[in-house]
């Protein structure tokens, strides 16, 4: 085989390689963080205020993993009921995202079972209200 055939074979193999890369890139699942990200961006000042309120708490929210459950401990000094939701956001696959309505037990805790969740990295986003004040807390956890 002379050098002309080798150059032609190299171009053909390069073309096949590029074709495989293009095919594989179309098979990749690309999830948005949120479907309505533009509307969320417009109201971000409210989010900044909620984060500031959370940082001003005497006792912050705490997160603990115990026996296939996530325990979110709310401050004990709250005088009114707590309302809101907790989002378990999985950046790698939106099918693993969960949304839980806050229903505290007598110890001011929200217990979330994690046994059926896929193992991996999650962001826990707690958006809640107590009285007239709104709060937002975000924490990164790894579910095992």
Q: What DSSP line would sit under the chain, residue for residue?
A: --HHHHHHHHHHHHHHHHHHHHHHHHHS----S-TTHHHHHHTHHHHHHHHHHHHT-SS--EEEE-SSEEEEEPPTT--S-EEEEEEEE-TT-GGG-EEEE----TTSEEEEE-TTSPSEEEEEEEEEEETTEEEEEEEEEEE-
CA dist list (Å): 36 to 39, 93, 103, 116, 134: 6, 17, 27, 27, 21
* pLDDT computed for residue 32 by the predictor: 64
Give the per-residue pLDDT at 124: 93
pLDDT recorded at residue 126: 94
pLDDT grade for 28, boundaries at 50, 70 and 90: confident
Q: Judging by beta carbons within 10 Å of its beta carbon (0-12, 13-18, 19+), is residue 104 exposed, middle or buried?
A: middle
- pLDDT higher than 80, residue 134: yes
Q: What is the pLDDT of residues 39-59, one digit of tens each?
A: 777 778 888 899 999 998 888
Residue 132 pLDDT: 87
pLDDT higher than threshold 70 for residue 33 = no
pLDDT score for 67: 85
Query: pLDDT tens digits for 48-104?
Result: 899 999 998 888 899 999 888 999 999 887 777 889 999 999 888 888 899 999 988
Q: Has residue 35 got a pLDDT over 80?
A: no
């Amino acid at each position: 085989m002379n050098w002309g055939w080798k150059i032609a074979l190299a171009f053909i193999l390069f073309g096949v390689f590029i074709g495989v890369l293009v095919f594989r890139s179309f098979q990749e699942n690309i999830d948005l963080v949120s479907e309505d990200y533009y509307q969320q961006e417009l109201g971000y000042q409210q989010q900044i205020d909620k984060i500031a309120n959370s940082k001003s708490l005497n006792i912050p929210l705490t997160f603990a993993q115990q026996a296939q459950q996530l325990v979110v401990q709310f401050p004990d000094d709250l005088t009114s009921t707590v309302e809101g939701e907790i989002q378990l956001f999985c950046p790698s696959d939106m099918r693993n995202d969960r949304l839980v309505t806050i229903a505290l037990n007598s110890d001011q805790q929200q217990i979330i079972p994690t046994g059926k969740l896929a193992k991996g990295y999650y962001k826990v986003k707690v958006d809640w209200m107590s009285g007239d004040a709104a709060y937002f807390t975000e924490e990164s956890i790894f579910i095992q």
